[in-house]
Structure formats: structure tokens, C-alpha cells
Amino acid sequence: MVLSPAAPVGLPPLEEAYEQCRRETERWAKTFYLGTLLMPPEKRRAIWAIYVWCRRTDELMDSPEAQALPVGELAARLDRWEERTRALFAGQVRDGLDRVMADVLEHFPQPLDPYLQMIEGQRMDLRCHRYANFAELELYCFRVAGTVGLMTQEVMGLDPAYTTAPWSERPNTSEAAVALGIANQLTNILRDVGEDRGRGRIYLPQEDLERFGYSEQELLAGTLNDNWRALMAFQLERARHWFGRSEAGVRWLAADARWPVWASLRLYRGILDAIERLNYDVFNHRAYVPRAGKFLDLPVSYVIAQAR
């Protein structure tokens, strides 16, 4: 299906709408934004548009304004957003974000399902504030972040050599894209434990808390002890495992996408190292990769991307 980016009278010009997406991405996702700047213009603009759509979806639940709304209103907002998303894929354009997304879908056709899955992930936050085991958490991570890999894989593209390589050497690139999204979300969860507890949410699996002898009450109180550090070390290794699963797919991306994706992967994985440097104190500190560290890593990521 080809969607026309032509907009009704009164909507911003396409270039202006893309610029708004760029500014929003730069403001809210600095590490991610740095990686997109390494892409060709058409690809980077598409990624900015998809990011903003995902951010708008997330804000339906997590913006300061949303935090004050009753559950019923939040559910209704998600329902309306789903209706609007379905309409967008049917070619209906209502505002600047719709216009750039229509343009993205015209140049990089993709299915509707990942977008609906992300909305369903937001619905999970309405009814589930605890996860019994990792299988439950993995489903949540897939919906709110693994789907981003599916949304963007057509934009990234594949190296022509992928189609001629022996079957035994071809990884499932969709699975790798999902794995990177899950790895990023697990990293977010570990970085934001302190913030999430303030909203009554605990994403660390309950079975892991029990396994390491660390109670929910201790987590809510921000208790730092050996059990907490052992629990967090285990969670970090799990996240690193998912980053590792994604690497096979990154190696087969189109040449103009490999460097930015490697850079984003390595910089986001660096947040895990930052958590370790804080001795796992994510209650009182926010883990991040310093700006200088980001720029120093870029040539390393470039070398890795060329080696494929």
C-alpha cells in the first residue's frame, strides 16, 4: 500500500514537520540521536519520525499529565491512539506527525502490527506493575521496545551480500532487531529502577528478587546491600546477553546503517558499565555515558562496522 504524504490545508510543510521530529529526538534521546546523525539524510529523517511516534505513544502513559489521570481515561487515550494509528496506515493524515509517518511508510513500507503491539505494551502498564518471571517481562520488553527493531528494519536495509551468503551464515535479522530493542529496554529498566519505584512499578522479575534474597520492601526503600549488588549484576549480564544476540544481525545491515547502529548499540550498552561504576546505586544516581565517551567511541564503532 502506498500512502500519500500530501496533507490537508493548514498542516505544516513536510520539511518543517521533519525538523520538529529532529528537534524532539535531539532533546529526549541524546545518545540515540547521535547515532542517527551518522545515517544518510533520508534514513535519519525516517528514524526521527518513528522515534517521535513511539515517544508520543509512551507519553500517553508516562507524561506528568498522564500520571494524574484515572486508569479509565488512560485506557481511553490508548484506544483513541490505536484508532488514529489504524487510520494513519489507511492513509488518513491529521497533523504534522501523521504527515511525516505517511512519508516514511511510502518510502519504507512496513506492517501495522508492530505499532499495535507497542500500544498493547502500554496497556500492560495499566494492569501490570509486577512481573512474576522473565518470560512475562520479555513479552513486555518486546512490545514496548523490540517492536522498534521491526519498525526500523526496513529503513536500515540489508547488505546485498546477505542474499547471496550461504543459508547457514544468514541470521534471522528480524530476531536480531527485536533482540536489540529488548536489550535497550532492559538497560532502561536497570537505569530507571529508582524512578520507576516512585510510580509504583517494579520491572525486575519477582522470581529474581526471591532468588537473590532481596525484598520488594528493600527495593522501595532503596536499600543498598550485597544481595542488591548480586541481583543487579545478574540483570546486567542478562541485558548484555541480549545485546550479544543482536550483533549477528547488525553485521548484515546495509553499509550506510552499520556504523550508526553499532555506535548506538555500543553507547547504550555503555550505560550498563556506568551502572557498575556506580556500584549499582541507581536509587541515588543516574547512569549515563559522558559526552566525551560517546565521541571517543565513534571511531571504534566505525572500525567494527567496516570489518563486518
Q: What is 12-35 written as a DSSP string? A: PPHHHHHHHHHHHHHHH-HHHHHH
| 182 and 108, same domain (yes or no) | no
Is the CB of residue 204 less than 8 Å from the CB of residue 219?
A: yes
| 154 and 244, same domain (yes or no) | yes
Residue 5 lies in a domain: no
Q: Tell me, what CATH number does 28's domain have?
A: 1.10.600.10
**Cell numbers 550479544: residue:** 244
Mean pLDDT computed over 261-282: 96
Mean pLDDT computed over 282-294: 92
Handedness of CA 161, 167, 172, 174 (dihedral sign): positive
| 198 and 271, same domain (yes or no) | yes
Q: How confident is the model at residue 61 (pLDDT cuts 50, 70, 90)?
A: very high
Residue 253, helix vs strand vs coil = strand
Of the residues 105, 127, 149, the one at which a domain ends: 127
Rounded to the nearest 5 degrees, what angle is found at the Cα of 64, between the Cα atoms of 25 and 142?
Answer: 60
Question: What is the reported pLDDT for 2?
Answer: 41
Residue 269 lies in a domain: yes
Compute CA distances 146 → 73, 128, 184, whole Å. Answer: 26, 19, 9
Of the residues 95, 110, 127, the one at which a domain ends: 127
HSE-CB at 60 with a 13 A cutoff on CA atoms is 28
| 120 and 184, same domain (yes or no) | no
Question: What is the reported pLDDT for 30?
Answer: 84
Question: What is the reported pLDDT for 291?
Answer: 85
DSSP single-letter state for residue 168 = G
| 20 and 136, same domain (yes or no) | no
Q: How far is CA 301 from the centre of its chain?
A: 20
| 42 and 171, same domain (yes or no) | no
Residue 8 lies in a domain: no
Look at residue 303 and tell me whether its pLDDT is greater than 80: yes
Question: What is the reported pLDDT for 5?
Answer: 45
Mean pLDDT computed over 120-127: 95
The domain tally of the chain equals 2
Question: What is the reported pLDDT for 34?
Answer: 87
Q: How confident is the model at residue 95 (pLDDT cuts 50, 70, 90)?
A: very high
Residue 235 lies in a domain: yes
Residue 284 lies in a domain: yes
Residue 7 lies in a domain: no
- 115 class by beta-carbon count within 10 Å (0-12 exposed, 13-18 middle, 19+ buried): buried
Mean pLDDT computed over 158-174: 92
What range defines the domain where residue 88 resides? 13-127
Mean pLDDT computed over 135-156: 97
Residue 4 lies in a domain: no
Mean pLDDT computed over 20-43: 93
| 75 and 222, same domain (yes or no) | no
| 122 and 144, same domain (yes or no) | no
| 219 and 296, same domain (yes or no) | yes
Residue 272 lies in a domain: yes
Alpha-carbon distance of 303 to 295, in angstroms, equals 14
Range of lowest pLDDT (48-52, 76-80, 139-143, 288-292): 288-292
Question: What is the reported pLDDT for 308?
Answer: 57
Select the more confidently predicted residue: 203 or 297. 203
Mean pLDDT computed over 236-241: 98
